[in-house]
Chain A
Protein backbone atom coordinates (compact mmCIF):
# COMPACT_ATOMS: atom_id res chain seq x y z
CA UNK A 1 0.00 0.00 0.00
CA UNK A 2 2.88 2.30 0.76
CA UNK A 3 4.00 1.94 -2.86
CA UNK A 4 0.56 2.93 -4.13
CA UNK A 5 0.60 6.29 -2.39
CA UNK A 6 4.06 6.93 -3.79
CA UNK A 7 2.79 6.27 -7.30
CA UNK A 8 -0.08 8.65 -6.86
CA UNK A 9 2.23 11.41 -5.73
CA UNK A 10 4.48 10.83 -8.72
CA UNK A 11 1.60 10.81 -11.21
CA UNK A 12 -0.12 13.74 -9.56
CA UNK A 13 1.61 16.09 -11.98
CA UNK A 14 -0.25 14.63 -15.00
CA UNK A 15 -3.38 13.27 -13.38
CA UNK A 16 -4.22 10.02 -11.65
CA UNK A 17 -4.71 6.78 -13.55
CA UNK A 18 -8.45 7.10 -12.98
CA UNK A 19 -8.64 10.31 -14.93
CA UNK A 20 -9.46 12.58 -12.01
CA UNK A 21 -7.76 15.90 -12.71
CA UNK A 22 -5.56 17.37 -10.03
CA UNK A 23 -4.79 21.06 -9.64
CA UNK A 24 -1.04 20.39 -10.01
CA UNK A 25 -1.40 19.20 -13.62
CA UNK A 26 -0.18 21.68 -16.27
CA UNK A 27 -3.07 23.38 -18.03
CA UNK A 28 -5.50 22.63 -15.22
CA UNK A 29 -8.44 24.99 -14.98
CA UNK A 30 -11.26 25.38 -12.53
CA UNK A 31 -14.14 22.96 -13.21
CA UNK A 32 -12.09 20.51 -15.29
CA UNK A 33 -13.68 17.06 -15.12
CA UNK A 34 -11.29 14.98 -17.27
CA UNK A 35 -7.55 14.92 -17.81
CA UNK A 36 -6.19 15.52 -21.30
CA UNK A 37 -4.94 11.94 -21.34
CA UNK A 38 -8.40 10.59 -20.65
CA UNK A 39 -10.03 12.83 -23.26
CA UNK A 40 -7.63 11.59 -25.92
CA UNK A 41 -7.99 7.94 -24.84
CA UNK A 42 -11.78 8.10 -25.01
CA UNK A 43 -11.74 10.01 -28.27
CA UNK A 44 -9.29 7.62 -29.95
CA UNK A 45 -11.21 4.57 -28.84
CA UNK A 46 -14.51 6.13 -29.84
CA UNK A 47 -13.32 7.10 -33.30
CA UNK A 48 -11.71 3.68 -33.76
CA UNK A 49 -14.92 1.96 -32.69
CA UNK A 50 -16.99 4.08 -35.07
CA UNK A 51 -14.64 3.34 -37.96
CA UNK A 52 -14.80 -0.37 -37.16
CA UNK A 53 -18.59 -0.32 -36.99
CA UNK A 54 -18.79 1.61 -40.26
CA UNK A 55 -17.16 -1.38 -41.95
CA UNK A 56 -18.46 -4.28 -39.85
CA UNK A 57 -22.18 -3.39 -39.73
CA UNK A 58 -22.72 -3.10 -43.51
CA UNK A 59 -20.73 -6.32 -43.99
CA UNK A 60 -22.90 -8.20 -41.50
CA UNK A 61 -26.04 -6.69 -42.99
CA UNK A 62 -24.85 -7.80 -46.42
CA UNK A 63 -24.44 -11.37 -45.16
CA UNK A 64 -27.81 -11.60 -43.40
CA UNK A 65 -29.84 -9.59 -45.94
CA UNK A 66 -31.29 -12.70 -47.66
CA UNK A 67 -33.24 -13.46 -44.47
CA UNK A 68 -35.36 -10.37 -45.09
CA UNK A 69 -35.75 -10.33 -48.86
CA UNK A 70 -38.52 -12.19 -50.66
CA UNK A 71 -38.32 -13.44 -54.22
CA UNK A 72 -41.09 -12.48 -56.63
CA UNK A 73 -43.87 -15.02 -57.01
CA UNK A 74 -43.55 -17.13 -60.14
CA UNK A 75 -46.33 -19.18 -61.74
CA UNK A 76 -45.59 -21.94 -64.18
CA UNK A 77 -48.01 -23.93 -66.34
CA UNK A 78 -47.76 -27.69 -65.89
CA UNK A 79 -50.39 -28.99 -68.31
CA UNK A 80 -54.00 -28.64 -69.51
CA UNK A 81 -56.81 -29.24 -67.00
CA UNK A 82 -57.76 -32.44 -68.82
CA UNK A 83 -54.49 -34.04 -67.66
CA UNK A 84 -55.55 -34.17 -64.03
CA UNK A 85 -58.34 -36.09 -62.30
CA UNK A 86 -59.42 -36.61 -58.69
CA UNK A 87 -58.60 -40.32 -58.44
CA UNK A 88 -54.81 -40.24 -58.70
CA UNK A 89 -51.80 -37.96 -58.82
CA UNK A 90 -49.81 -36.91 -61.86
CA UNK A 91 -46.17 -35.96 -61.28
CA UNK A 92 -45.03 -32.69 -62.84
CA UNK A 93 -41.59 -31.10 -62.89
CA UNK A 94 -41.39 -27.34 -62.64
CA UNK A 95 -38.89 -24.64 -61.67
CA UNK A 96 -39.02 -23.06 -58.23
CA UNK A 97 -35.63 -21.30 -58.38
CA UNK A 98 -34.44 -19.65 -61.58
CA UNK A 99 -30.94 -19.76 -63.06
CA UNK A 100 -29.45 -22.70 -61.17
CA UNK A 101 -30.21 -25.45 -63.65
CA UNK A 102 -31.42 -28.81 -62.46
CA UNK A 103 -30.95 -27.88 -58.82
CA UNK A 104 -33.74 -25.30 -59.14
CA UNK A 105 -36.34 -27.78 -60.38
CA UNK A 106 -38.69 -29.77 -58.21
CA UNK A 107 -41.33 -32.43 -58.54
CA UNK A 108 -44.96 -31.92 -57.52
CA UNK A 109 -47.90 -34.35 -57.54
CA UNK A 110 -51.06 -32.72 -58.92
CA UNK A 111 -54.68 -33.89 -58.89
CA UNK A 112 -58.17 -32.42 -58.93
CA UNK A 113 -60.10 -31.74 -55.71
CA UNK A 114 -62.29 -34.63 -54.51
CA UNK A 115 -65.77 -34.04 -53.03
CA UNK A 116 -65.55 -37.25 -51.01
CA UNK A 117 -62.51 -35.79 -49.19
CA UNK A 118 -64.40 -32.52 -48.55
CA UNK A 119 -62.39 -30.65 -51.16
CA UNK A 120 -63.59 -28.16 -53.76
CA UNK A 121 -63.90 -30.16 -57.02
CA UNK A 122 -63.01 -27.05 -59.01
CA UNK A 123 -59.67 -26.68 -57.28
CA UNK A 124 -56.41 -28.40 -58.13
CA UNK A 125 -54.18 -29.78 -55.39
CA UNK A 126 -50.42 -29.80 -55.85
CA UNK A 127 -48.47 -31.75 -53.23
CA UNK A 128 -44.79 -30.90 -52.76
CA UNK A 129 -42.41 -33.86 -52.68
CA UNK A 130 -40.36 -32.18 -49.95
CA UNK A 131 -40.69 -34.47 -46.93
CA UNK A 132 -41.88 -32.63 -43.81
CA UNK A 133 -39.25 -34.44 -41.76
CA UNK A 134 -35.94 -33.19 -43.15
CA UNK A 135 -36.62 -32.38 -46.78
CA UNK A 136 -35.81 -35.57 -48.69
CA UNK A 137 -37.90 -36.13 -51.82
CA UNK A 138 -40.97 -38.34 -51.22
CA UNK A 139 -42.61 -40.35 -53.98
CA UNK A 140 -46.24 -41.33 -54.50
CA UNK A 141 -46.77 -45.09 -54.46
CA UNK A 142 -49.82 -45.82 -56.59
CA UNK A 143 -50.52 -49.29 -55.19
CA UNK A 144 -50.62 -48.07 -51.58
CA UNK A 145 -52.08 -44.64 -52.31
CA UNK A 146 -49.45 -43.22 -49.99
CA UNK A 147 -46.46 -40.91 -50.17
CA UNK A 148 -43.29 -42.59 -48.88
CA UNK A 149 -39.96 -40.98 -48.01
CA UNK A 150 -36.79 -43.01 -48.70
CA UNK A 151 -34.61 -41.37 -46.06
CA UNK A 152 -36.20 -42.06 -42.69
CA UNK A 153 -39.42 -43.87 -43.51
CA UNK A 154 -41.99 -41.10 -43.37
CA UNK A 155 -45.42 -42.14 -44.74
CA UNK A 156 -48.27 -39.81 -45.78
CA UNK A 157 -51.81 -40.65 -46.85
CA UNK A 158 -53.51 -39.66 -50.12
CA UNK A 159 -54.06 -36.09 -48.86
CA UNK A 160 -50.49 -35.77 -47.55
CA UNK A 161 -51.35 -36.23 -43.87
CA UNK A 162 -48.78 -38.09 -41.78
CA UNK A 163 -49.69 -41.70 -41.09
CA UNK A 164 -46.27 -43.02 -40.12
CA UNK A 165 -42.64 -42.24 -39.44
CA UNK A 166 -40.97 -39.09 -38.11
CA UNK A 167 -42.55 -36.22 -40.14
CA UNK A 168 -43.99 -33.46 -37.98
CA UNK A 169 -46.75 -32.16 -40.27
CA UNK A 170 -48.48 -32.95 -43.57
CA UNK A 171 -46.70 -32.46 -46.88
CA UNK A 172 -46.40 -28.90 -48.17
CA UNK A 173 -48.50 -27.77 -51.11
CA UNK A 174 -48.19 -25.32 -53.98
CA UNK A 175 -50.82 -22.71 -54.79
CA UNK A 176 -52.71 -23.56 -57.97
CA UNK A 177 -54.79 -21.61 -60.47
CA UNK A 178 -56.22 -22.21 -63.91
CA UNK A 179 -55.29 -19.80 -66.69
CA UNK A 180 -56.49 -20.32 -70.27
CA UNK A 181 -57.36 -23.97 -69.57
CA UNK A 182 -53.91 -24.68 -68.13
CA UNK A 183 -53.12 -25.58 -64.55
CA UNK A 184 -50.44 -23.29 -63.10
CA UNK A 185 -48.43 -23.83 -59.94
CA UNK A 186 -47.35 -20.92 -57.74
CA UNK A 187 -45.66 -20.36 -54.39
CA UNK A 188 -45.30 -23.07 -51.79
CA UNK A 189 -47.30 -23.06 -48.54
CA UNK A 190 -47.42 -25.34 -45.52
CA UNK A 191 -50.49 -26.79 -43.84
CA UNK A 192 -51.47 -27.70 -40.30
CA UNK A 193 -52.52 -31.21 -39.34
CA UNK A 194 -56.09 -30.11 -40.21
CA UNK A 195 -54.84 -29.05 -43.68
CA UNK A 196 -55.37 -25.35 -42.94
CA UNK A 197 -52.92 -23.28 -45.00
CA UNK A 198 -50.15 -21.43 -43.15
CA UNK A 199 -47.07 -19.57 -44.29
CA UNK A 200 -44.29 -21.84 -45.58
CA UNK A 201 -42.26 -23.57 -42.91
CA UNK A 202 -39.05 -25.51 -43.44
CA UNK A 203 -39.11 -29.27 -43.01
CA UNK A 204 -38.85 -30.43 -39.43
CA UNK A 205 -40.86 -27.46 -38.11
CA UNK A 206 -44.28 -28.09 -36.58
CA UNK A 207 -47.30 -26.03 -37.67
CA UNK A 208 -50.42 -24.86 -35.83
CA UNK A 209 -51.02 -23.85 -32.23
CA UNK A 210 -48.04 -22.68 -30.20
CA UNK A 211 -45.65 -23.88 -32.91
CA UNK A 212 -46.64 -20.85 -34.97
CA UNK A 213 -44.66 -18.83 -32.41
CA UNK A 214 -41.82 -21.29 -31.74
CA UNK A 215 -41.21 -21.55 -35.50
CA UNK A 216 -42.09 -18.00 -36.52
CA UNK A 217 -43.00 -17.25 -40.14
CA UNK A 218 -40.03 -15.97 -42.10
CA UNK A 219 -40.08 -12.72 -44.09
CA UNK A 220 -38.46 -14.55 -47.00
CA UNK A 221 -41.57 -16.66 -47.64
CA UNK A 222 -44.77 -15.58 -49.41
CA UNK A 223 -47.90 -15.20 -47.25
CA UNK A 224 -50.29 -18.13 -46.97
CA UNK A 225 -53.14 -18.19 -49.53
Chain B
Protein backbone atom coordinates (compact mmCIF):
# COMPACT_ATOMS: atom_id res chain seq x y z
CA UNK B 1 0.00 0.00 0.00
CA UNK B 2 1.35 3.42 -0.91
CA UNK B 3 0.65 6.42 1.35
CA UNK B 4 0.38 9.87 -0.23
CA UNK B 5 3.56 11.89 0.34
CA UNK B 6 1.77 14.50 2.43
CA UNK B 7 1.05 11.97 5.16
CA UNK B 8 4.65 10.85 5.58
CA UNK B 9 6.99 13.08 7.66
CA UNK B 10 9.55 14.77 5.42
CA UNK B 11 12.65 12.92 6.69
CA UNK B 12 10.98 9.58 6.02
CA UNK B 13 9.88 10.29 2.44
CA UNK B 14 11.65 8.59 -0.40
CA UNK B 15 13.70 10.97 -2.50
CA UNK B 16 12.06 11.81 -5.80
CA UNK B 17 13.27 9.77 -8.77
CA UNK B 18 14.99 11.68 -11.55
CA UNK B 19 12.49 13.02 -14.07
CA UNK B 20 9.49 12.38 -11.86
CA UNK B 21 6.81 15.09 -11.65
CA UNK B 22 9.03 17.55 -13.47
CA UNK B 23 11.77 17.32 -10.74
CA UNK B 24 15.27 16.07 -11.13
CA UNK B 25 17.43 15.99 -14.21
CA UNK B 26 15.17 13.81 -16.36
CA UNK B 27 16.23 10.77 -18.24
CA UNK B 28 19.45 10.64 -20.21
CA UNK B 29 19.32 11.62 -23.91
CA UNK B 30 18.49 8.71 -26.12
CA UNK B 31 21.62 9.05 -28.22
CA UNK B 32 24.53 11.10 -26.79
CA UNK B 33 26.41 11.07 -30.10
CA UNK B 34 23.61 12.62 -32.14
CA UNK B 35 22.43 15.12 -29.56
CA UNK B 36 25.24 15.99 -27.14
CA UNK B 37 24.23 18.01 -24.06
CA UNK B 38 24.86 21.71 -24.41
CA UNK B 39 28.14 22.85 -22.90
CA UNK B 40 28.82 26.32 -21.51
CA UNK B 41 31.06 28.60 -23.52
CA UNK B 42 34.47 29.40 -21.94
CA UNK B 43 33.49 33.06 -21.59
CA UNK B 44 30.40 32.04 -19.69
CA UNK B 45 32.48 29.87 -17.37
CA UNK B 46 34.86 32.78 -16.72
CA UNK B 47 31.94 35.05 -15.97
CA UNK B 48 30.50 32.56 -13.53
CA UNK B 49 33.88 32.24 -11.84
CA UNK B 50 34.15 36.02 -11.59
CA UNK B 51 30.74 36.13 -9.96
CA UNK B 52 31.91 33.61 -7.40
CA UNK B 53 35.14 35.50 -6.67
CA UNK B 54 33.87 37.68 -3.82
CA UNK B 55 32.39 34.62 -2.13
CA UNK B 56 35.62 32.73 -2.65
CA UNK B 57 37.62 35.56 -1.08
CA UNK B 58 35.23 35.79 1.85
CA UNK B 59 35.37 32.02 2.21
CA UNK B 60 39.18 32.07 2.15
CA UNK B 61 39.27 34.60 4.98
CA UNK B 62 36.50 32.86 6.87
CA UNK B 63 38.23 29.49 6.70
CA UNK B 64 41.30 31.00 8.32
CA UNK B 65 39.64 33.26 10.92
CA UNK B 66 36.27 31.75 11.76
CA UNK B 67 34.88 35.24 11.36
CA UNK B 68 31.45 34.09 10.18
CA UNK B 69 30.66 32.06 13.26
CA UNK B 70 31.90 34.92 15.43
CA UNK B 71 29.88 37.56 13.60
CA UNK B 72 26.72 35.47 13.33
CA UNK B 73 26.99 34.51 16.97
CA UNK B 74 27.27 38.18 17.85
CA UNK B 75 24.60 39.55 15.51
CA UNK B 76 22.02 36.75 15.48
CA UNK B 77 21.88 36.13 19.21
CA UNK B 78 18.59 35.64 21.04
CA UNK B 79 17.03 38.72 22.57
CA UNK B 80 14.26 38.63 25.17
CA UNK B 81 10.63 39.47 24.44
CA UNK B 82 9.81 43.15 24.76
CA UNK B 83 13.14 44.40 23.43
CA UNK B 84 12.40 47.92 22.21
CA UNK B 85 13.92 51.17 21.00
CA UNK B 86 15.34 51.97 24.45
CA UNK B 87 17.76 49.11 23.87
CA UNK B 88 19.42 51.07 21.06
CA UNK B 89 20.84 53.77 23.37
CA UNK B 90 24.05 51.82 23.97
CA UNK B 91 24.67 51.41 20.24
CA UNK B 92 23.84 55.09 19.76
CA UNK B 93 26.49 55.98 22.35
CA UNK B 94 28.96 53.73 20.57
CA UNK B 95 28.17 55.46 17.28
CA UNK B 96 28.67 58.86 18.92
CA UNK B 97 32.05 57.65 20.22
CA UNK B 98 33.02 56.47 16.75
CA UNK B 99 32.05 59.87 15.30
CA UNK B 100 34.12 61.64 17.98
CA UNK B 101 37.10 59.40 17.26
CA UNK B 102 36.85 59.97 13.51
CA UNK B 103 36.36 63.74 13.60
CA UNK B 104 38.98 63.99 16.37
CA UNK B 105 41.60 62.29 14.22
CA UNK B 106 40.94 64.76 11.40
CA UNK B 107 40.95 67.76 13.74
CA UNK B 108 44.33 66.70 15.12
CA UNK B 109 45.77 67.06 11.60
CA UNK B 110 45.37 70.84 11.84
CA UNK B 111 45.59 71.50 15.58
CA UNK B 112 48.77 72.72 17.33
CA UNK B 113 48.79 72.06 21.08
CA UNK B 114 51.00 74.99 22.04
CA UNK B 115 49.72 77.85 24.22
CA UNK B 116 50.91 80.44 21.72
CA UNK B 117 49.61 78.77 18.55
CA UNK B 118 46.58 76.78 19.69
CA UNK B 119 44.00 79.53 19.29
CA UNK B 120 45.41 80.51 15.89
CA UNK B 121 45.33 76.94 14.63
CA UNK B 122 41.71 76.62 15.73
CA UNK B 123 40.66 79.80 13.94
CA UNK B 124 42.56 78.68 10.83
CA UNK B 125 40.90 75.27 11.00
CA UNK B 126 37.46 76.78 11.47
CA UNK B 127 37.62 79.60 8.95
CA UNK B 128 40.06 78.56 6.22
CA UNK B 129 40.12 74.77 5.97
CA UNK B 130 37.55 73.21 3.61
CA UNK B 131 34.65 71.84 5.72
CA UNK B 132 36.72 72.61 8.84
CA UNK B 133 33.81 74.34 10.51
CA UNK B 134 31.63 71.30 9.85
CA UNK B 135 34.12 68.77 11.22
CA UNK B 136 34.88 70.90 14.27
CA UNK B 137 31.18 71.51 14.84
CA UNK B 138 30.47 67.79 14.60
CA UNK B 139 33.16 67.11 17.17
CA UNK B 140 31.98 69.89 19.49
CA UNK B 141 28.27 69.09 19.39
CA UNK B 142 28.96 65.35 19.20
CA UNK B 143 30.61 65.61 22.60
CA UNK B 144 27.36 66.85 24.10
CA UNK B 145 25.37 64.24 22.18
CA UNK B 146 27.58 61.46 23.49
CA UNK B 147 27.29 62.69 27.08
CA UNK B 148 23.50 62.87 26.81
CA UNK B 149 23.26 59.44 25.18
CA UNK B 150 25.49 57.76 27.75
CA UNK B 151 23.34 59.20 30.54
CA UNK B 152 20.15 58.00 28.84
CA UNK B 153 21.74 54.58 28.33
CA UNK B 154 22.64 54.47 32.02
CA UNK B 155 19.08 55.48 32.91
CA UNK B 156 17.68 52.71 30.70
CA UNK B 157 19.91 50.11 32.37
CA UNK B 158 19.01 51.42 35.81
CA UNK B 159 15.24 51.65 35.37
CA UNK B 160 15.02 48.29 33.57
CA UNK B 161 16.99 46.65 36.37
CA UNK B 162 19.52 45.44 33.81
CA UNK B 163 22.44 46.08 36.18
CA UNK B 164 21.44 43.13 38.39
CA UNK B 165 23.10 39.71 38.58
CA UNK B 166 24.98 38.64 36.52
CA UNK B 167 25.62 42.02 34.91
CA UNK B 168 27.07 43.96 37.86
CA UNK B 169 30.54 43.99 36.36
CA UNK B 170 29.20 45.45 33.14
CA UNK B 171 27.52 48.20 35.16
CA UNK B 172 30.84 48.97 36.84
CA UNK B 173 32.61 49.12 33.46
CA UNK B 174 29.82 51.36 32.20
CA UNK B 175 30.25 53.75 35.11
CA UNK B 176 33.99 53.96 34.40
CA UNK B 177 33.15 54.68 30.76
CA UNK B 178 30.77 57.44 31.88
CA UNK B 179 33.52 59.01 34.00
CA UNK B 180 35.99 58.73 31.12
CA UNK B 181 33.46 60.40 28.81
CA UNK B 182 33.24 63.31 31.24
CA UNK B 183 37.06 63.41 31.43
CA UNK B 184 37.06 63.65 27.63
CA UNK B 185 34.65 66.57 27.83
CA UNK B 186 36.77 68.28 30.47
CA UNK B 187 40.11 67.86 28.72
CA UNK B 188 38.72 68.68 25.27
CA UNK B 189 37.15 71.90 26.51
CA UNK B 190 40.58 73.49 27.03
CA UNK B 191 41.90 72.79 23.54
CA UNK B 192 40.36 75.75 21.62
CA UNK B 193 42.30 77.89 24.14
CA UNK B 194 40.01 80.89 24.10
CA UNK B 195 39.04 82.86 27.21
CA UNK B 196 36.10 80.63 28.00
CA UNK B 197 38.02 77.35 27.76
CA UNK B 198 41.02 78.76 29.65
CA UNK B 199 39.02 79.97 32.64
CA UNK B 200 36.73 76.95 32.65
CA UNK B 201 39.81 74.76 32.89
CA UNK B 202 41.30 76.91 35.65
CA UNK B 203 38.08 76.47 37.61
CA UNK B 204 37.85 72.74 36.80
CA UNK B 205 41.42 72.01 37.87
CA UNK B 206 40.85 73.96 41.09
CA UNK B 207 37.70 71.94 41.81
CA UNK B 208 39.86 68.80 41.48
CA UNK B 209 42.28 70.42 43.90
CA UNK B 210 39.70 70.78 46.67
CA UNK B 211 39.83 67.04 47.41
CA UNK B 212 41.55 66.63 50.78
CA UNK B 213 45.16 65.36 50.92
CA UNK B 214 45.44 64.16 47.30
CA UNK B 215 43.64 67.11 45.70
CA UNK B 216 46.60 69.51 45.62
CA UNK B 217 48.82 66.89 43.97
CA UNK B 218 46.10 66.03 41.46
CA UNK B 219 45.96 69.70 40.45
CA UNK B 220 49.72 69.76 40.04
CA UNK B 221 49.55 66.62 37.92
CA UNK B 222 46.87 68.07 35.64
CA UNK B 223 48.66 71.41 35.25
CA UNK B 224 52.15 69.90 35.14
CA UNK B 225 53.20 72.36 37.84
CA UNK B 226 52.00 74.87 40.37
CA UNK B 227 50.63 77.29 37.78
CA UNK B 228 48.93 76.90 34.40
CA UNK B 229 52.13 76.50 32.42
CA UNK B 230 53.78 75.66 29.10
CA UNK B 231 53.01 71.93 29.18
CA UNK B 232 49.48 72.14 30.61
CA UNK B 233 47.87 72.34 27.19
CA UNK B 234 49.93 69.53 25.65
CA UNK B 235 49.23 67.43 28.73
CA UNK B 236 45.49 67.93 28.31
CA UNK B 237 45.86 67.19 24.60
CA UNK B 238 47.68 63.92 25.29
CA UNK B 239 45.10 62.88 27.87
CA UNK B 240 42.30 63.86 25.51
CA UNK B 241 43.45 62.11 22.38
CA UNK B 242 45.72 59.27 23.52
CA UNK B 243 45.32 58.20 27.12
CA UNK B 244 41.56 58.30 27.65
CA UNK B 245 40.47 57.15 24.15
CA UNK B 246 42.77 54.13 24.47
CA UNK B 247 41.26 53.27 27.83
CA UNK B 248 37.76 53.80 26.46
CA UNK B 249 38.29 51.55 23.44
CA UNK B 250 39.57 48.77 25.71
CA UNK B 251 36.67 49.16 28.13
CA UNK B 252 34.08 49.38 25.33
CA UNK B 253 35.47 46.08 24.04
CA UNK B 254 35.05 44.50 27.48
CA UNK B 255 31.59 46.07 27.83
CA UNK B 256 30.38 44.64 24.52
CA UNK B 257 31.97 41.26 25.15
CA UNK B 258 29.94 40.98 28.34
CA UNK B 259 26.77 42.14 26.60
CA UNK B 260 27.17 39.42 23.97
CA UNK B 261 28.16 36.80 26.52
CA UNK B 262 25.43 37.52 29.06
CA UNK B 263 22.67 38.67 26.70
CA UNK B 264 20.21 41.46 27.41
CA UNK B 265 17.36 41.58 29.89
CA UNK B 266 13.64 41.74 29.21
CA UNK B 267 11.97 45.01 30.21
CA UNK B 268 10.46 44.86 33.70
CA UNK B 269 6.89 45.00 32.36
CA UNK B 270 7.30 41.81 30.33
CA UNK B 271 6.12 38.87 32.43
CA UNK B 272 6.21 35.29 31.33
CA UNK B 273 3.17 33.03 31.16
CA UNK B 274 1.97 31.27 34.31
CA UNK B 275 4.70 29.06 35.73
CA UNK B 276 4.55 25.68 34.09
CA UNK B 277 6.98 22.80 34.30
CA UNK B 278 9.42 23.74 31.57
CA UNK B 279 12.20 21.75 30.05
CA UNK B 280 14.66 23.47 32.35
CA UNK B 281 12.82 22.43 35.48
CA UNK B 282 12.58 18.89 34.18
CA UNK B 283 16.26 18.90 33.52
CA UNK B 284 16.95 20.11 37.05
CA UNK B 285 14.76 17.41 38.51
CA UNK B 286 16.37 14.78 36.37
CA UNK B 287 19.75 16.06 37.45
CA UNK B 288 18.81 15.88 41.12
CA UNK B 289 17.76 12.27 40.76
CA UNK B 290 20.39 11.01 38.42
CA UNK B 291 24.20 11.11 38.48
CA UNK B 292 24.24 14.20 36.25
CA UNK B 293 23.33 16.55 39.10
CA UNK B 294 26.07 19.07 38.35
CA UNK B 295 25.04 19.54 34.70
CA UNK B 296 21.42 20.05 35.61
CA UNK B 297 22.29 22.82 38.06
CA UNK B 298 24.44 24.62 35.54
CA UNK B 299 21.70 24.44 32.91
CA UNK B 300 19.45 26.14 35.39
CA UNK B 301 22.04 28.82 36.10
CA UNK B 302 22.47 29.37 32.38
CA UNK B 303 18.79 30.00 31.82
CA UNK B 304 18.79 32.46 34.70
CA UNK B 305 21.57 34.31 32.95
CA UNK B 306 19.57 34.61 29.75
CA UNK B 307 16.34 35.42 31.48
CA UNK B 308 18.11 38.05 33.46
CA UNK B 309 15.84 37.68 36.42
CA UNK B 310 15.55 35.00 39.04
CA UNK B 311 11.77 35.31 39.11
CA UNK B 312 11.35 34.12 35.58
CA UNK B 313 13.49 31.04 35.48
CA UNK B 314 12.71 29.06 32.38
CA UNK B 315 9.60 30.94 31.36
CA UNK B 316 9.87 33.56 28.68
CA UNK B 317 13.34 32.62 27.58
CA UNK B 318 12.32 29.02 27.15
CA UNK B 319 9.41 30.07 25.01
CA UNK B 320 11.84 32.11 22.93
CA UNK B 321 14.06 29.16 22.35
CA UNK B 322 11.37 26.76 21.14
Residues of A within 8 A of B (CB): 63-64, 66-67, 69-71, 96-101, 103-104, 134-137, 151, 200-205, 214-216, 218, 220-221
Contact = CB atoms under 8 A, between A and B. Distances in A.
B115 A216 contact: no
B215 A215 contact: yes
A132 B3 CA distance: 97
A70 B306 CA distance: 57
Contacts of A101: 115-116
Interface in B194-247: 198-199, 202-203, 205-207, 209-210, 212-213, 215-217, 219-221, 223-231
Contacts of B228: 97, 103
Interface in B51-73: none
14 contacts: A66-B221, A97-B229, A100-B116, A100-B229, A103-B193, A103-B198, A134-B207, A136-B199, A200-B226, A201-B216, A202-B209, A202-B216, A205-B210, A218-B226
Contacts of B206: 134-135, 202-204
B41 to A, nearest CB: 63
A101 B215 CA distance: 28
A203 B116 CA distance: 25
A67 B220 contact: yes
Interface-central residue, A104, A200, A220, by most chain B CB under 10 Å? A220
A204 B202 CA distance: 12
Contact of B207 (A69, A97, A204, A214): A204
Contact of A205 (B115, B199, B216, B220): B216
A99 B209 CA distance: 25
Interface centre among A70, A151, A215 (most CB of B within 10 A): A215
Given A71-B225, A136-B203, A202-B219, A66 B209 contact: no
Contact of B221 (A67, A134, A202, A203): A67
Contacts of A201: 216
Nearest to A217: B216
Contacts of A103: 115, 193, 198, 228
**Counting chain A CB atoms within 10 Å of each CB, which of B212, B213, B220 scores highest?**
B220
Given A100-B116, A101-B116, A203-B206, 11 more contacts: A67-B220, A70-B226, A97-B227, A98-B230, A100-B115, A101-B115, A103-B193, A104-B115, A104-B230, A202-B219, A216-B213
Nearest to A220: B226
What 7 pairs across the A-B complex have the smallest Cβ distances? A100-B115, A204-B210, A66-B224, A202-B209, A220-B226, A214-B212, A134-B203
Contacts of A202: 205-206, 209, 215-216, 219
A103 B116 CA distance: 8
B229 to A, nearest CB: 5
A135 B115 contact: no
A218 B217 contact: yes
A202 B210 CA distance: 8
B216 A218 contact: yes
B20 to A, nearest CB: 56
B200 to A, nearest CB: 10
